[in-house]
Structure 1
Amino acid sequence: MTKLEQIERSIAALCPKELKAFAKWFEAFQADLWDMQIEADGQGRQT
């Protein structure tokens, strides 16, 4: 089983409250990655 498959199974096993908390965390995580990419692009480099 790949790491991604393990993550998918773990997420699928979350209760609704845990899934909501995970979704909130993941959304913030993606926003942080986007901010870093925008900053890097503004400095003329790629991440």
Structure 2
Amino acid sequence: MSLAEIQSAIERLSFEERAKLAAWLHGWKDDEWDEQMKRDIAAGKLDSILHEVEEDIKAGRVREMP
């Protein structure tokens, strides 16, 4: 199925069906993001960022968001 065919099929969906599809796609993206984060953390790719954040907290350069 081509992208154009998928787009055409989506355009024929009801509002409720499009809402369900959008929610599913959003969740799918989140799942992918979560898995990538797990791989990056395990590989140590975020260690330098974590260290920087910890230093900012210790130095008082972080404040609570309003």
Tell me which interval the TM-score lies in, with the shorter structure as reference length.
Answer: 0.7 to 0.9
Q: How many residue pairs are counted as aligned between the two chains?
A: 43
Deviation at 1:19, TM superposition (A): 0.4
TM-score relative to the length of structure 1: 0.75
Is the aligned partner of 1:35 residue 2:37?
no
RMSD: 1.3
Q: TM-score, normalised by structure 2?
A: 0.57
Q: Once superposed, which parts of structure 1, at least 4 consecutive aligned residues long, lie more than 2 Å away? A: none
Instruction: Report which of the two structures shows the higher radius of gyration computed on alpha carbons.
Output: 2
**Letter of the structure 1 residue corresponding to residue 18 of structure 2:** L
- Structure 1: give runs of 5+ residues left out of the alignment: none
Where is the helix percentage greater, Structure 1 or Structure 2? 1
